[in-house]
C-alpha cells in the first residue's frame, strides 16, 4: 500500500494534462489512465516485494486476465489464466468497485474539492483505505479463521463472541449499511464454492470453518436478533487466498477495484459547475461556560 500511494501520486509528475481537468477530454484520459495502470502498479509492487522479475502487460488478454498474468506469470513460460479464477477475481473487482459514501470515497471527494489533480486524490483514497477498519476487513476475517483453526473450536469462539467482556470479535459478520444479509455475500458464496471445486479444495479447512460459522450465524437467535449475517469480506478473503494472493495484498486488490468508483465519484463532483471546496464543520461539546476567579484569588 505504501508503494501504491507513492507511485499513484507520482503519476502526476508524468502526465501534466491531469492538472487541467476543466477539459472533459483531459478528464477522460486521466480516468482511463488511472484505471488501466492500477493492475500494473499492484502486480509490480507484489513482484518487487518477492524479488521476482516484473511481468509486462499483454495486449491479447482482458483486464483481469492481464492482472493475473502480471501477478503470477514468469519470463520462463507463457501464463494461461484459468477462466474460473479469472471470473472469480473479476467478480471481486466488480463487487468492490463502489459502495456508497464510505471513508475512502469521502477522502477522494474532499481532496478533489480543493482542486487537487486526480492522481493525488486517488493516492489520498488509497491512504484512507489502508486503515484496518476500512480496507483490512477480509484480511482480518482470514486471520480470525486461522485463529479458530478447526471446526471443533467453533462453539468456543461463538461463546466468546457473545461475551461482552471478551475482546474477541467475529469478523466478516454484520455491516454498517446492510442490516440484513449482504447481497454481495450471496454472490461471493457461490464464487467461493466454484473456485474451491476448480482447485480441488472442497475440503479446505478454512472453507469448512466458514460454512460452520455461516450455519450458526443463520440459525442462532443471538446473531439473528442482532442481524449479524455474513458479509462480502467473509468469503472474498478465502477466494483470494485460494487463487494465490497473499493476505498482505488483499487491501491492494481492494484499492485496485475501488479506483473505478473513486474516479466516477471524482468525475461526478468535478463535472458539477456548482461544486465548492469541502469544509466539514465541528460542533464544540467540551467544557461549558465557567466562572473565572478574580486575578487576586487565582
pLDDT of 208 strictly over 80: yes
Mean pLDDT of the chain: 89
Cell 484459468 found at: 82
| 194 is known as an active-site residue | no
* Model pLDDT, residue 259: 97
Residues 257 and 252: their CA atoms lie apart, in Å, by 9
* Model pLDDT, residue 154: 87
Share of residues in the chain with pLDDT > 70 (%): 97
One of 26, 233, 272, 296 is an active-site residue; which one? 233
Q: Which residue has the higher pLDDT, 181 or 186?
A: 186
Query: For the segment 51-108, what is each residue's pLDDT rounded down to a tens digit?
Result: 999 999 999 999 999 999 999 999 998 899 999 999 999 999 999 999 889 999 999 9
Lowest-pLDDT range of 11-15, 42-46, 142-146, 255-259: 142-146
* Model pLDDT, residue 43: 97
CA-wise closest residue to 271 among 116, 113, 120, 119: 113
Q: Any idea what DSSP says for residue 293?
A: P
pLDDT of 177 strictly over 70: no
pLDDT of 175 strictly over 80: no
Q: Which residue has the higher pLDDT, 91 or 150?
A: 91
Whether 109 and 92 have beta carbons less than 8 Å apart is answered as no
Report the sign of the C-alpha dihedral through residues 282, 283, 286, 290, in that order. positive
* Residue 185, C-beta contacts closer than 8 angstroms, at least 6 positions apart: 229, 230, 231, 232, 234, 235
Q: How many CB atoms lie within 10 A of CB 279?
A: 7
Lowest-pLDDT range of 34-43, 171-180, 286-295: 171-180
Q: How many CB atoms lie within 10 A of CB 290?
A: 6
Mean pLDDT calculated for residue range 115-138: 91
Q: Which domains does the chain have, with CATH numbers?
A: 2-134+246-271 (1.10.580.10), 137-243 (1.10.230.10)
pLDDT of 204 strictly over 70: yes
Residues 180 and 283: their CA atoms lie apart, in Å, by 33
pLDDT classification of 214: cutoffs 50, 70, 90: confident
Cell 436478533 found at: 225
One of 69, 90, 175, 182 is an active-site residue; which one? 175
Residues 196 and 126: their CA atoms lie apart, in Å, by 30
Mean pLDDT calculated for residue range 33-37: 95
Residues 123 and 79: their CA atoms lie apart, in Å, by 30
Residues 228 and 219: their CA atoms lie apart, in Å, by 11
* Residue 84, C-beta contacts closer than 8 angstroms, at least 6 positions apart: 194, 195, 198
Alpha-carbon distance values, 241 to 102, 143, 155 (Å): 25, 11, 25
pLDDT of 140 strictly over 80: yes
**What grid cell was written down for 273?**
459547475
| 233 is known as an active-site residue | yes
Maximum Cα–Cα distance across the chain = 86
* Model pLDDT, residue 157: 86
The radius of gyration of the chain from alpha carbons, rounded to an integer in Å, stands at 23
Q: Which residue has the higher pLDDT, 176 or 27?
A: 27
Query: For the segment 259-272, what is each residue's pLDDT rounded down to a tens digit?
Result: 999 999 999 999 99
This prediction has a pTM of 0.86
Amino acid at each position: 500500500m505504501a508503494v501504491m500511494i507513492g507511485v499513484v501520486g507520482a503519476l502526476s509528475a508524468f502526465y501534466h494534462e491531469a492538472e487541467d481537468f476543466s477539459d472533459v477530454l483531459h478528464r477522460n484520459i486521466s480516468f482511463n489512465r488511472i484505471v488501466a495502470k492500477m493492475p500494473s502498479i499492484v502486480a509490480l509492487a507484489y513482484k518487487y516485494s518477492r524479488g521476482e522479475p516484473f511481468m509486462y502487460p499483454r495486449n491479447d488478454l482482458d483486464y483481469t486476465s492481464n492482472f493475473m498474468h502480471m501477478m503470477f506469470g514468469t519470463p520462463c513460460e507463457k501464463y494461461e489464466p484459468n477462466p474460473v479464477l479469472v471470473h472469480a477475481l473479476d467478480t471481486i473487482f466488480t463487487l468492490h468497485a463502489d459502495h456508497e459514501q464510505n471513508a475512502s470515497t469521502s477522502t477522494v471527494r474532499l481532496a478533489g474539492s480543493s482542486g487537487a489533480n486526480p492522481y493525488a486524490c486517488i493516492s489520498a483514497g488509497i491512504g484512507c483505505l489502508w486503515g484496518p477498519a476500512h480496507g483490512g476487513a477480509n484480511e482480518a476475517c482470514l486471520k480470525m479463521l486461522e485463529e479458530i483453526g478447526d471446526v471443533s473450536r467453533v462453539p468456543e469462539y461463538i461463546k466468546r463472541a457473545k461475551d461482552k467482556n471478551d475482546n474477541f470479535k467475529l469478523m466478516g459478520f454484520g455491516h454498517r449499511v446492510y442490516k440484513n444479509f449482504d447481497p454481495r455475500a450471496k454472490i461471493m458464496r457461490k464464487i467461493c464454492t466454484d473456485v474451491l471445486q476448480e482447485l480441488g479444495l472442497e475440503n479446505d479447512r478454512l472453507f469448512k470453518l466458514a460454512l460452520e460459522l455461516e450455519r450458526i450465524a443463520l440459525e442462532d437467535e443471538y446473531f439473528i436478533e442482532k442481524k449479524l449475517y455474513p458479509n462480502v469480506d467473509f468469503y472474498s478473503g478465502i477466494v483470494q487466498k485460494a487463487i494465490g494472493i497473499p493476505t498482505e495484498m488483499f487491501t491492494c486488490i481492494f484499492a485496485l477495484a475501488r479506483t473505478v468508483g473513486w474516479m466516477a465519484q471524482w468525475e461526478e463532483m468535478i463535472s458539477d459547475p456548482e461544486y465548492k471546496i469541502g469544509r466539514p464543520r465541528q460542533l464544540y461539546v467540551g467544557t461549558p461556560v465557567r466562572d473565572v476567579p478574580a486575578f487576586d484569588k487565582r
